[in-house]
Amino acid sequence: MLNRTFYSFLNNLLDILPPYGRALDVRGYLASKALKRCGTRLRISANVNIYNPQYVTAGNNVYIGYNTYLGGGEVFLDDEVIIGPFCSIVAGNHTLKDGSYRYGPYEYGTIFIGRGTWLGSHVTVASNVKIGKGCCIAAGSVVVTDVEDNEIYGGVPARKIS
């Protein structure tokens, strides 16, 4: 398993490659060595930041889009998850201490994204959320509550739309 610093260095170096084609496979292969667990054919676009990769689990045929951030606590991406560009999947929160969030202790959480789910561009998923299998989350949505299987959600905060 690659350590976080070395993976980050390699990932930044690979950002000179285009955000499509074989470069997706190369980035995915390197990331798979740093993740907690990873299935086959992880594909990662350019400028993706996986903070604490040792807490991220990815299934088979997962795609992570351009300029996406995954971090905080435990993140589980089931098989065939598609994450669009500019998404934020943040499995943690800052807490308040002495009237300030700057020095409050960090609170680690979990995020689970089910098989075959698609997050459109600019989606934010907050800590301690479970998104079921076969879901579609509309572009620009902020998911702060659990989403049942095979639902379409959208908005801020995200609500069932179909």
The residues facing 49 across adjacent strands are 69
Classify residue 53 by its DSSP letter. Answer: G
Cα–Cα dist 58/74, whole Å? 11
Which of the residues 33, 37, 94, 159 is marked catalytic? 94
Establish whether 122 is a catalytic residue: no
Residue ranges with strand state E in 85-151: 88-94, 106-108, 110-113, 118-119, 124-125, 129-131, 136-137, 142-143
Where in the sequence numbering do the catalytic residues fall?
94
